[in-house]
């Protein structure tokens, strides 16, 4: 060691002299003894490896390594480090390798091998903990039946699949959701499994946030959600989507929720509701599978491939390419992406459980962070709201929903009047067309509110309706069917929010004045919620 005042230069100039001063002939016999011991230890180690007895020693070394390298024993459980890899028994390392291999294409996974592992990876918009999905798999492994339900728009309803040879567009092997259901049935056969497609063409999360109980059973175990195209690129889409997620996750069976996002080339932007939904899905720990990043690059390179993935039909004898609705090939691909994702979750779940059996728990965490058993719960307060430390939990919504598409509680006029029931393709409305035409709906409210869903568009010639409750014409609300947005969808407006609990009558009348550039006065109602 260099000391102040000493000559470091002299040490460098006389290395042989330094070494000679360090050598002590008296210790040579001791060194021979140490060297002999080293040779004996190495020979014994080679014997242990050859005889297979080394695993027991490595098990002990692993325990020692965990206890000495971590101050807190709970921190010893985690990903394999380079040091651990040298100390862990071979059979333990195999478990880790198996778990990591779950994210790679398996030799028998033709779909994964065809599109590449990298494309599988970028199709997962959000993975999360999969707490609820693993709970679903445990239920299936225990031999119990499940109910798979669907909420979504016309893509979920299978619009256009009829032309690809699938008469039942809602529930046939042509529909992406039904294909996911078939994958579950094949993996976990049970006669009691049930599939319910509650999709409503043209509907948004605005509607489903209130009316999903009308469309799917409350005993749902897995809910597949698809509103990426139907919801507009507005902040309100995030609010209504969040309300829907909270309602779905609060169903009695605490179902798993998976978002299946398709895309459209019809509107002003490629990104629509999916853009607004992403952060909310993350907040509620619900997986997101998207087909966009897999298919869109090929369309950018060669636009002639677009008809391969979108619905091609005939309208007035002319062939059309409907880039709002995906074709069978895209339905199949979306289902395969989802099945591959679920397979990987199941694979990793099983490998983690095997690791736990040999003493390695990858789900242990320090107390200041969420424990595994705490996941799957609904956050106390919505993401799309201001933080308040002393705020009470958001109350559960239990709205009354009367809809033109509902079989449980259909929306009906109180008496035969001027308005008529009318449908366009698979969309249903109650319609008034001329100024002065009136309609009445009887409803009951518990929370004191009533709101209407009505069609809005800039191209359908829609006008204005003025609505009021009971005989209170001084509190009229004017609802405008015309707007400047490119999308044509049902929109919601609250007519009254201060009603007494009980039965009331909602009145609506077509207004003379209209904002439609063409002078249109038609008004279309789809749903009443109270």
Largest CA distance in the chain: 119
What CATH number is given for 117-374 in this structure?
3.40.50.1110
> Distances in Å between the alpha carbon of 388 and those of 63, 201, 292, 392?
46, 38, 37, 9
Distance in angstroms (rounded) separating the CA atoms of residues 274 and 292: 10
Per-residue pLDDT of the chain (530 residues; tens, 9 = 90+): 433 344 343 333 333 333 333 334 445 555 554 455 555 555 555 554 455 444 443 443 333 333 332 333 333 333 434 433 444 455 554 544 555 578 888 788 889 999 999 999 999 999 999 999 999 999 999 999 999 999 999 999 999 898 778 889 999 999 999 999 999 999 999 999 999 999 999 899 999 998 999 999 999 999 999 999 999 898 889 999 999 999 999 999 999 999 999 999 999 899 998 999 999 999 999 999 999 999 999 999 999 999 999 999 877 778 889 999 999 999 999 999 999 999 999 999 999 999 888 888 888 888 889 888 888 999 988 898 888 888 777 777 778 899 998 888 999 998 777 899 999 877 899 999 999 999 999 999 887 889 999 999 999 999 999 999 999 999 999 999 999 988 788 889 999 989 998 999 999 999 999 999 999 999 999 999 98
The rounded radius of gyration (Å) of the Cα atoms in the chain is: 33
Question: What DSSP string runs through 436-474?
Answer: T-EEEEEEEESSS-EEEEEEEBSSS-B-EEEEEETT-GG
Task: Determine the pLDDT at residue 422.
Answer: 94
> Where in the chain do CATH 2.60.120.260 domains reside?
401-529
- Quote the distance between the C-alpha of residue 382 and its chain's center: 17
Task: Determine the pLDDT at residue 26.
Answer: 43
Distance in angstroms (rounded) separating the CA atoms of residues 454 and 431: 10
DSSP state of 72: S
Task: Determine the pLDDT at residue 392.
Answer: 78
Task: Determine the pLDDT at residue 393.
Answer: 76
Distance in angstroms (rounded) separating the CA atoms of residues 125 and 289: 6
Name the fold adopted by 401-529.
Answer: Jelly Rolls (2.60.120)
Distance in angstroms (rounded) separating the CA atoms of residues 331 and 238: 25
392, 396, 399, 401: CA torsion to nearest 10: 140
């Amino acid at each position: 060691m260099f000391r102040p005042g000493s000559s470091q230069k002299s040490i460098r100039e006389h290395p042989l002299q330094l070494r000679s001063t360090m050598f002590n002939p008296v210790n040579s016999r001791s060194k021979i003894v140490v060297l002999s011991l080293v040779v004996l230890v190495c020979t014994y180690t080679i014997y242990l490896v050859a005889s297979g007895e080394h695993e027991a020693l490595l098990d002990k070394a692993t325990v020692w390594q965990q206890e000495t390298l971590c101050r807190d024993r709970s921190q010893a459980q985690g990903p394999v480090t380079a040091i651990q890899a040298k100390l862990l028994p071979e059979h333990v390392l195999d478990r880790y390798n198996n778990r990591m291999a779950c994210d790679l294409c398996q030799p028998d996974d033709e779909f994964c091998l065809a599109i590449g592992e990298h494309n599988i990876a970028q199709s997962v918009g959000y993975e999360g903990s999969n707490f609820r999905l693993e709970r679903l798999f445990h239920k299936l492994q225990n031999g119990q039946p499940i109910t798979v339900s669907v909420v979504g728009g016309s893509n979920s309803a299978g619009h256009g699949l009829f032309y690809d040879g699938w008469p039942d567009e809602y529930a046939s092997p042509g529909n992406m959701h039904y294909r996911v259901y078939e994958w579950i049935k094949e993996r976990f056969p049970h006669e009691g499994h049930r599939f319910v497609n509650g999709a409503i063409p043209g509907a948004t999360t605005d509607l489903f946030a209130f009316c999903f109980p009308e469309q799917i059973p409350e005993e749902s175990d897995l809910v597949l959600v698809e509103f990426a195209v139907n919801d507009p690129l507005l902040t309100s889409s995030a609010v209504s989507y969040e309300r829907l997620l909270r309602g779905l996750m609060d169903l009695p069976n605490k179902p798993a929720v998976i978002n299946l996002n398709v895309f459209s080339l019809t509107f002003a932007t490629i990104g629509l509701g999916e853009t607004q939904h992403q952060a909310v899905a993350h907040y509620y720990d619900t997986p997101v599978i998207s087909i966009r990043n897999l298919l869109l690059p090929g369309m950018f390179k060669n636009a002639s491939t677009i008809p391969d993935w979108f619905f091609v039909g005939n309208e007035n004898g002319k062939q059309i390419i409907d880039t709002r609705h995906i074709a069978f090939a895209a339905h199949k691909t979306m289902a395969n992406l989802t099945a591959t994702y679920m397979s990987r979750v199941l694979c990793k779940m099983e490998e983690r459980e095997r690791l736990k059996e040999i003493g390695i728990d990858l789900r242990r965490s320090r107390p200041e962070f969420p424990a595994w058993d705490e996941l799957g719960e609904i956050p106390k307060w919505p993401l799309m709201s201001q933080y308040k430390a002393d705020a009470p939990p958001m109350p559960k919504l239990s709205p009354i929903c009367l809809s033109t598409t509902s079989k449980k509680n259909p929306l009906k006029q109180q008496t035969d009047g001027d308005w008529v029931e009318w449908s366009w393709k698979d969309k249903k409305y109650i319609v008034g067309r001329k100024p002065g035409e009136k309609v009445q709906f009887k409803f009951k409210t518990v929370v004191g509110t009533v709101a209407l869903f009505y069609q809005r568009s800039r191209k359908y010639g829609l006008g204005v309706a003025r609505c009021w409750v009971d005989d209170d014409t001084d509190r009229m609300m004017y609802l405008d069917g015309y707007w400047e947005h490119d999308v044509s969808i049902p929109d919601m407006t609250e007519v009254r929010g201060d009603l007494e609990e009980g039965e009331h009558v909602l009145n609506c009348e077509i207004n003379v004045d209209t904002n439609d550039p063409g002078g249109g006065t038609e008004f279309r109602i789809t749903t009443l919620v109270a």
